[in-house]
Amino acid sequence: MPARPDSTHRYWPWAALLFLSCVWGSSFILIKTALTAFTPVQVGAFRISAAALTLLPFMLFRLSKEGVADVGRKLPWLGVVGLVGNGIPAFLFALAQTRLESSTAGALNALTPMFTLLLGVWWFSLPINRTKLLGVGVGFSGALLLILIRGNGQFDPNWQWALLVVAATLMYGTSVNTVGRHLRQFNPLLSAAIPLALVAPFTLIILFSGDFLQRCMDPEAMRAIGGLALLSVLGSAISLVLFNRLIQVSGPVFASTTTYLMPLVALAWGWWDGELLGLSHLLGMAAILTGIWLIYRGNRPS
């Protein structure tokens, strides 16, 4: 388990962790709701565009106070976060959930801290030991179970779509390490808003180049629009600022453990929405979390 984080208030990081886990754990059911009226591309594009526009006035105000000198030096890393921490994963998750249940996508998202740790080991040349290797093996065996087996115990013919979620979690791990290594001293509002602003021009073009406005006129799309709004404003804009602040205070590994609780929230929403939850879900998620715990244990000094 991660060491107790350093903070001006000892309980703040844990409260932030719980809040983010609940919000992001609910994002999968919101994506499912949005897909009832919009295409996966529209869902991803709206999520990034709306989050960027939500934070834009706050970003401009902060830049007017602090200047743009640091932004220029950090722009390449801000671009990396915008692309692999926000832009591409938003489309991958929406596309994957056209074939996957929201609970499966949420459970697979627990791979994020594992990739965060593995990439951190690679970037910082930390030693590898047998405990860490065992954790990697156990964690990925759990992911394989979730990918291949449905809740009813049968083989999932759409297993390839789960690889989109795995790719997204790898990108999240890359983004978390980028923030932790290169943007940790950067203002958390700017480290959330600027990456979104960098990719938003492209997502806005994508969003309005299709029939998004026509779909919005459908009276039956109101529930989907509400889900998109919550997903974008609360799940992407506000939560990203809080998450980056958590990385500053507690480090990337602790912050990435939001995914300890996220799968439980996602599974609960899936069950509430009538999705079939089986033994494979529970065993797969348990194996991933056990793998993460073993890697943490391997990080402890002997």
Label residues 208-224 b or e (16+ Cβ within 10 Å = b): eeeebeebbeeeebeeb
Whole-number percent of the chain with pLDDT over 90:
31
Indicate whether 265 pLDDT > 50.
yes
Q: Where are the domains of the chain?
A: 12-299
Enter the pTM of the model. Answer: 0.84
| Range scoring the smallest mean pLDDT among 43-47, 61-65, 83-87, 169-173 | 61-65
Tell me the angle at which helices 159-182 and 88-96 cross, rounded to the nearest 10 degrees.
160
pLDDT given for residue 125 in this prediction: 66
Please provide residue 149's backbone torsions phi and psi, each rounded to the nearest 5 degrees. Answer: -115, 130
Token representation of residue 28: 């999968």
Residue predicted with more confidence, 288 or 77:
77
Question: Percentage of the chain with pLDDT > 70?
Answer: 90
Q: Is the predicted pLDDT of residue 301 greater than 90, yes or no?
A: no
pLDDT value of residue 3? 44
Burial class for 100, CB neighbours closer than 10 Å (0-12, 13-18, 19+): buried
Gap between the Cα atoms of 128 and 118, Å rounded: 10
Burial 263-298 (b: 16+ CB within 10 A, else e): bbbbbbbbeeeebebeebbeebbbbbbbbbbbbbeb
Using CA atoms, how far residue 83 sits from 110, 197, 213, 251, in Å, is 21, 11, 25, 21
pLDDT at 4: 44
CA atoms within 13 A on the CB side of 73: 7
**Is a pLDDT exceeding 90 seen at residue 203?**
yes
Average pLDDT over residues 242-246: 84
In 120-148, which positions are buried (b, 16+ CB within 10 angstroms) versus exposed (e)? Answer: bbeeeeeeeeebbebbbebbbebbebbbe
Residue 277 clears pLDDT 50, i.e. is over it: yes
User: Which residue would you say has higher pLDDT here, 4 or 276?
Assistant: 276
CA atoms of 24 and 231, how far apart (whole Å):
9
Does 171 score more than 60 pLDDT?
A: yes
Q: Are 31 and 272 in contact (CB under 8 A)?
A: no
